[in-house]
Amino acid sequence: MSVTNLSFRPYLRVEVIHLTNLGDLVVRKSYGGDVTFRVESIQRNEAMIKGTEFRLLADAPLHDLVKVDPASPTEKAKRARIKATESLKRLHRDRQEQTERNQASLSQLWYAQSEPSYFEVPGKVLHLDGDERYLKKSLDLYEKLRVPAHGYYVTESQMASALYRLLPGIRPDIVVITGHDGVLKNRPQADLYNLSSYKNSSHFVEAVQAARQYERNFDALTVVAGACQSHFEALLQAGANFASSPSRVLIHALDPVYIAAKVSFTSIRDTINMMDILNNTISGTQGVGGIETRGSYRIGLPKLKDLSTLKVVPSM
């Protein structure tokens, strides 16, 4: 009987190892299966996993992982997707209302024209992301929202030096600094005020400081920084306009994009409605916060011409 048991146990361990493969979607049994992850790497009996909806990077023993069907998301993922859809609809609705306000305002000045013509100059975004997959999702959303954006995949520890090189050439209105972060389990300092208690908050702080060395005016350059459980207070003190995470919670992968898009299409004449922008992020005020900031959006007159249709008589 004892021999049968001994031969049976190793067989089970081998099966668990082979059930989990690279790219699989999994949840962690020890956390109640609340967050869906993708398996990024496997080494011996441990896997490195990344959140599919939330900016969370973790390692987990293979025996704690359960493979899930992509068509059957967790309840937390369902709620996040519903909130993300609502946030996107809100952005589109805001854009439509803004267009109507612009038309009404210009019609008073250009009363002779039935449809006043103008062109838009939304704020330009420079987005640095420590996760290549999230960066692609972010750039896709910027494109859908018609936000001009430059995106770079940069590891968190290299973000400060990357900004020193990129800022003078791109000259953005908005900088997004994000990737992966988290409160360490075995942290050298037990308190949450110490940067050493976080995986990447110190790197984000250095990156924010680099951005502020380039532009000190908080309205000339809006800085959005942080990831899951980041040191919110330290990021604000370093010079961020918006940061995560006040309650040290997980933030949605697209929360920084939502804030950047809102700033990009808020008029320079207006300050951003703080409660409006924070309540309409996926993570809410527990996940993101910030300070009063002016928008980056401008309109210009007259509407830009299609040069291919102009008939111009050369003067020289």
Predicted local distance difference test score (pLDDT) of residue 102: 67
- The tens-digit pLDDT sequence of the chain (316 residues) is 444 344 444 433 333 334 678 888 898 888 888 888 889 889 888 888 888 888 888 888 898 998 888 777 777 777 777 777 777 777 777 777 777 676 666 666 555 455 557 788 999 999 999 999 999 999 999 999 899 999 999 999 999 999 999 999 999 999 999 999 989 887 776 789 999 999 999 999 999 999 999 999 999 999 999 999 999 999 999 999 999 999 999 898 889 999 999 999 999 999 988 888 887 888 889 999 999 999 999 988 777 877 888 888 888 8
Tally of CB atoms within 10 A around 70: 10
Q: Are 264 and 278 in contact (CB under 8 A)?
A: no
Instruction: Record the tokens describing residue 189, joined without a space.
Output: 């300092």
Cα(123)–Cα(91) distance, integer angstroms: 15
Burial of 302 (0-12, 13-18, 19+ CB in 10 A): exposed
Burial of 163 (0-12, 13-18, 19+ CB in 10 A): buried
Residues forming beta bridges with residue 183, ordered by sequence position: 198
Residue type, 149: A
Cα(121)–Cα(256) distance, integer angstroms: 21
pTM of the model: 0.82
Q: Which of 45, 6, 40 is nearest to 23 (CA)?
A: 40
Nearest 10 degrees: Cα torsion 269, 271, 276, 277: 100
> Would strands 149-153 and 57-61 be described as parallel, antiparallel, or unpaired?
unpaired
Q: Are 80 and 53 in contact (CB under 8 A)?
A: yes
Predicted local distance difference test score (pLDDT) of residue 98: 72
H helices present in 20-158, as ranges: 75-109, 132-145
